[in-house]
Structure 1
Amino acid sequence: MLQHLELELKRESEAAEQRMSHKLQRIARELALQKAKAVTEARQEERNKIVVLLDKQEKYAWEKKQEMELAFKMSQKEFEEETEKLLKTAENVREAQLEEVINEVNRKDSEILSLTQQLEDMTAWKDSLEAEILETRAAFQKYINVTFPQLAPGQADFILPFRKISPFTDAGVDF
């Protein structure tokens, strides 16, 4: 029965570790998708804004071209400067948004690393406690065997407490 409980605890521990691993992989994939989507959306938004601005400016210049040839040349120069400013502004906004996304990804990566380390620490601690419990039970069983040599094997098993299942596995807590 002890071996069965040990196997059950081992299987539950491995399942919890596997669930955590899958969860971490899923979060990493979601972050990568979010990052790619944010970059694509920012670029498309920039393109749309520039297209709209260019369309408005070209229409205006076309209407005024026949009335004022000299004014057109000057407005064309102003238009190019304004477009350059808008492009620079749009590039700065895109860079700022990209930097925010990168910072968020880095924060999430740090959280994932922290959670992974916590999981490893908890698993090591659990394994250590599990080993200590097994050693204590074995020592106690040896003591019973030495103290009560007249008892048949298994006759004093009632002295050893039954192994209880961890509240973490009973409660369905998913790490």
Structure 2
Amino acid sequence: MQRYLENELKRESEAAEQRMAHKLQRILMECALEKMHAVVEARKQERQTASQAMAKQQKYSLVVLNTGILANEIHQKNLDQLKKEKLYEMSVALDITQKENQEEAEKQLKEAEKTHQAIYGEVTTSLRETEAQVQILTQQLESMTAWKDNLEAEIEETRQSFQNYIDITFPKLTPGQADFILPFRKRPEYRDTKKETDNDKGM
């Protein structure tokens, strides 16, 4: 009986060991399977994380690229706007300078015209005064010439009358004997001033 019990205990012990071994083997297999699943899941998570990180990096790079392009476009627009403003300022400054130069030129031209008119007026006045003086002198000269001609005529008449008186009073005098009474008169040579004045005006 004791041996039977020992055999039963032995069989139960072996059966228990076998069950324990199977259970341990199953646990080990389950652990290995779980480990394999965990590795697969970890690799999947790593791939997803890497993919997400790459997507974020690509998105960030795209944002940076778009931001750079946008910044470049904004910078170019600012440069174009600044260029337009500078061109407009230069155009306005050029217009102002041209207007100022034109106003200055017109001012100088008006001053030159005023000076010319003043000089022309002075010259015209001086010329008129000179012409008036010349006319007065011409009239005086004509009066003096007429007076001289009248005086010459009177002298000639007086000499002729005196010569007639000598001829009647002293009929026997030979030519030249009465020269001490009525000496020979030399006629002065007078230039025709009126003709010279007319010639000067023609020149």
Structure 1 length as normaliser, TM-score?
0.49
Question: For the pair shown, which has the larger CA radius of gyration, 1 or 2?
Answer: 2
Q: Which has the higher contact order (CA 8 A, sep 6+)?
A: 1
